[in-house]
Amino acid sequence: MESEIEWGTKRVIDGRLRVFYDGYWIKAYEAPADSLQAKKQLIQALTRRLFNHVEHGLNIPGTRLRAARHAYEVETDAQRRRVKAGMLAGALFNRAADLFTKLVELQSLGFEIQPDNALMRECGEHLKEALVLGKNVLHRSGEEGIDELWGEPFKAFAFPIEEFYKSRYIKIALTMAAIDRIATALVATFAALPMFAGLEPLVLDFANAAKAKSETLRTEDDIFDIWTSFVVSTEKLLAFAPPRPSQATTEENQNFIDALQLIRHGVELVGSMTRARVPMPKSTREFVARCEEYRRFALVAESRRSVA
């Protein structure tokens, strides 16, 4: 019984080491040795990943931290202040990465860097402040913010790398659960509508490909097949176009358009989570609610059409 398996249990499954979290067996990776050099590389990678998934224009160089802070502090318009908060957060992240790089360089020259080093403390403060400001930032899709990405560089800084890896596995498990929830909602929404027969296997293939992509690093040998499967399953699901009802009413035509838009929204939401490898709980709840609302209206419309 999976419910009896302890979180963090590792097993070789089909020749691949996996670790169990929250009902999912996730690909496990060897954590590098815990050192300043390893932390620097990890923080730099996490910072690049962050900027790939948030709003445009936030990747402000660390050298412009003072200017970014001034622009944020003097801004009084709430909408503009939100954007400048994200720009300040970006500058803080980059400044922290700059500091870490210099610390590693000093360590490589034989200097002993203690945890209470002034630059280490400054680096930590920058990351903490960026985490708070990052709550103002939206995902690049315009959906909710993804706080997990803003918190990851700080976790990599503050905790042993092994502990950071564990936190990532949990996030991936939560991402997989969100993908399954969206897929289940789509299948349930259209299962009772005859014109959407054939949609379910496309949704399930897409969800399985998305989960495989969410646990796989680009350095893996099988990324070529996994990414290809994700792209192709996405294309097939978006290409699904059932025939419109003959002699459809204006309402029925609108329901048909709404259905295709709902499917597209689900695909885009899963795609956003898959690439970022973090869940988007608010967006997932809202999407499931949209599915349930559409299903109620569609069933009523289908009932009226059958009677007619």
| In the predicted structure, residue 48 carries a pLDDT above the cut 70 | yes
* Contact in structure between 174 and 22 (CB atoms under 8 Å): yes
Q: What is the pLDDT of residues 89-132, one digit of tens each?
A: 999 989 988 888 888 788 777 877 777 788 888 988 998 898 88
Contacts of 120 (CB under 8 A, 6+ apart): 103, 113, 114
* Residue 3 burial class via C-beta count within 10 angstroms: exposed 0-12, middle 13-18, buried 19 and up: exposed
Structure-block tokens of residue 50: 């962050």
Q: For the segment 176-230, what is each residue's pLDDT rounded down to a tens digit?
A: 999 999 999 999 999 878 888 899 999 999 999 999 999 998 888 999 999 999 9
Report d(CA 276, CA 54) in Å as an integer. 10
Boundaries of every domain in the chain: 36-159, 175-307
